Amino acid sequence: MHFLQTILAFAVVLGVLIIVHELGHYLVARWCGVKVLRFSVGMGKVVYSRRFGADQTEWAISVLPLGGYVKMLDAREGDLSDVSPEDLKREFTRQSVWRRIAIVAAGPLANFLLAILVFAGLYVYGIPEPAPKLRAPAEQSVAYQAGLRGGELVTAVNGEPIQIWNDLRWQMVQGVVNNKPVKLDVERANPNFPSEKLISTLTIPVDSISAEELEGDFLVKLGIDLARPRAILGQVVADGPAMLAGLQTGDLVTAVNGVAIPDGMALVEAVRASPGKMLKIDLLRDGKPLSVNVTPEEANKDGQVFGRIKVEVPMVPDMVLASHGPIAALVKGVQKTWDTSVMTLKMVGKMIVGEVSWKNVTGPITIADYAGQTARIGLISYLSFIAFVSISLGVMNLLPIPVLDGGHLLYYAVEVLTGRPVSERFGAIAQRAGIGILMTLMLVAVFNDINRLIS
């Protein structure tokens, strides 16, 4: 079932992004007066097509789903001796260089526009997200050394106000990529007057984190984690270790083997680390202190042995509904798309100079896997994933590699500067080089995908 859902989710992502990208080329080509012969979703042999409109443009589905194209009337692609004088005026290479630039750039720009609209729509709708409230860090962590003690609510990062945990994480990612310390504005209770809030600014160094660690939970390494609810027990499973030891729903666990338990996560960690070992659990029941002994049973998953006592423990953090008006949401959508695009370019640059491993290059298998995972989480996660992939597609297409849109834009930039187009011979050589580069990148991506599956 998961496999079918993954395939369907991937097909929708791919179809939407290809259609949006090619529609950008198509609409601007029509706006510039260029005759469009075919609009294809997919590459290679056409398996289905219909013709529409005054130009009888062929709308087609082709056999290879990884891509698409808009075929325009183009003197470089065949003999035009039988084309009418009126249509010759609509031939692509006869257009001004600025029109050609607009047509080629329209595909990636359409991907950016899709991302902006998706993000803006999500911001208007309102996204239930964890609040950026912090858990107590370990004493040896960077966060503890910077002054965080737990319970703080992060209100701004580097002077930019935030509402949700993902905003905090995103700003921390940028700090790691730029190798710059991150300043957190935090709100905490006044110890002398608990009803009052104190605001302070703390600086978190990030030089201990490499760019390659960004895919993992790098915040935990810094000592930054979500605050969790107190360890108040939920449903106790019948005949499990917790019930046999006398634990009950509503018990508040305060310590395990004399070590304080500040939240549900700490209780889970203590139990998982002690398979088959008796634990002394201190708790409060109806306000009265009690102690019980419980021995976690051994469990095994993916070769890892851990303990469990079969009781529900609250783990859901404080949630906020982050929503904005239409204008503010659109502005945030533009900002999010811009920041993500810049981040993608920086990561590409770091891979080129060797600061980031090429293992970060992903291909269709990984994209399909993430598409399935986000679809199972929910519509908001899935739409966010589509927006991020759309940005990546837009950025990658603008890279100055022959065959890609960015390569053609580079040719036209040379034409603007020199007053004449690049030679056909140079274009043919660059085209072959571009195909070689793309094939190499695809092989690296597929290799990384397969490596992830078997590792």
Same domain? For 237 and 273 the reply is yes
| 24-83 pLDDT per residue, tens | 999 999 999 999 999 999 888 999 999 988 889 999 999 888 788 999 998 888 777 788
At residue 259, the 3 state secondary structure works out as strand
Same domain? For 198 and 264 the reply is no
Last residue of a domain, one of 182, 201, 222: 222
| 20-39 pLDDT per residue, tens | 999 999 999 999 999 999 99
Higher pLDDT, 264 or 350: 264
Same domain? For 244 and 215 the reply is no
Same domain? For 252 and 294 the reply is yes
Same domain? For 212 and 147 the reply is yes
How far is Cα 253 from Cα 263, in angstroms, rounded to an integer? Answer: 9
How far is Cα 416 from Cα 98, in angstroms, rounded to an integer? Answer: 9
| Percent of the chain clearing pLDDT 90 (strictly above) | 49
With a cut of 80, say whether residue 403 has pLDDT above it.
Answer: yes
* Token couple for 1: 């079932």
Interval 299-323 mean pLDDT: 87
Cα–Cα–Cα angle for 202, 130, 365, rounded to 5 degrees? 105
State phi, psi for 284 to the nearest 5 degrees: -115, 130
Last residue of a domain, one of 312, 345, 379: 312
**pLDDT the model gives residue 304:** 86
Taking the CA atoms of residue 116, residue 119, residue 122 and residue 128 in that order, the dihedral angle to the nearest 10 degrees is: -170
Residue pair 319/132 in contact by the 8 Å Cβ criterion? no
Answer whether residue 242 is part of any domain. yes
How far is Cα 362 from Cα 119, in angstroms, rounded to an integer? Answer: 23
**pLDDT the model gives residue 1:** 61
Same domain? For 191 and 170 the reply is yes
CATH label of the domain that carries residue 249? 2.30.42.10
Answer whether residue 46 is part of any domain. no
pTM score: 0.76
**pLDDT the model gives residue 72:** 92
Same domain? For 152 and 194 the reply is yes
Same domain? For 152 and 217 the reply is yes
pLDDT band at 430 (very low <50, low <70, confident <90, very high): confident
pLDDT band at 156 (very low <50, low <70, confident <90, very high): very high
Whole-Å CA distances, 146 to 173, 183, 219: 18, 10, 14
E-only strand ranges, 369-447: none
Answer whether residue 394 is part of any domain. no
Last residue of a domain, one of 198, 222, 246: 222
Same domain? For 157 and 213 the reply is yes
Answer whether residue 191 is part of any domain. yes
Q: Which residue has the tokens 């896997």?
A: 369
Residue pair 170/164 in contact by the 8 Å Cβ criterion? no
Mean per-residue pLDDT over the chain, rounded: 88
With a cut of 90, say whether residue 297 has pLDDT above it.
Answer: yes
| Percent of the chain clearing pLDDT 70 (strictly above) | 99
Q: Which residues are catalytic?
A: 22
Interval 219-245 mean pLDDT: 92
The region that residue 425 occupies, defined by phi over 0 for left and psi between -120 and 50 for alpha, beta otherwise, is alpha
Answer whether residue 342 is part of any domain. no
With a cut of 80, say whether residue 356 has pLDDT above it.
Answer: no
| 97-138 pLDDT per residue, tens | 999 999 999 999 999 999 999 999 998 988 788 899 999 898
pLDDT band at 192 (very low <50, low <70, confident <90, very high): confident
Higher pLDDT, 326 or 439: 326
Answer whether residue 288 is part of any domain. yes
pLDDT band at 301 (very low <50, low <70, confident <90, very high): confident
18's CB contacts (< 8 A; 6+ apart) are: 41, 42, 67, 68
Same domain? For 207 and 243 the reply is no
Answer whether residue 182 is part of any domain. yes
What one-character-per-residue DSSP string does 93-125 give? GGS-HHHHHHHHHHHHHHHHHHHHHHHHHHHHH
Interval 249-254 mean pLDDT: 94
Interval 287-304 mean pLDDT: 90
With a cut of 90, say whether residue 357 has pLDDT above it.
Answer: no
Q: How many domains are contained in the chain?
A: 2
pLDDT band at 455 (very low <50, low <70, confident <90, very high): low
Answer whether residue 420 is part of any domain. no
Same domain? For 214 and 140 the reply is yes
What is the residue range of 287's domain?
A: 232-312
In this structure, of 20-24, 181-185, 316-320, the range with the lowest mean pLDDT score is 316-320
In this structure, of 204-208, 323-327, 383-387, 450-454, the range with the lowest mean pLDDT score is 450-454
Residue-wise over 383-405: b if at least 16 C-beta within 10 A, else e?
A: bbbbbbbbbbbbbbbbbebbbbb
**pLDDT the model gives residue 133:** 93
Which residue in 222, 112, 123 sits closest to 173, CA to CA?
222
DSSP 386: H
Whole-Å CA distances, 141 to 53, 213, 220: 65, 17, 9
**pLDDT the model gives residue 439:** 83
Tell me the HSE value of 442 on the side-chain side, using a 13 A CA sphere: 8
How far is Cα 183 from Cα 156, in angstroms, rounded to an integer? Answer: 8
**pLDDT the model gives residue 117:** 96
Same domain? For 144 and 216 the reply is yes
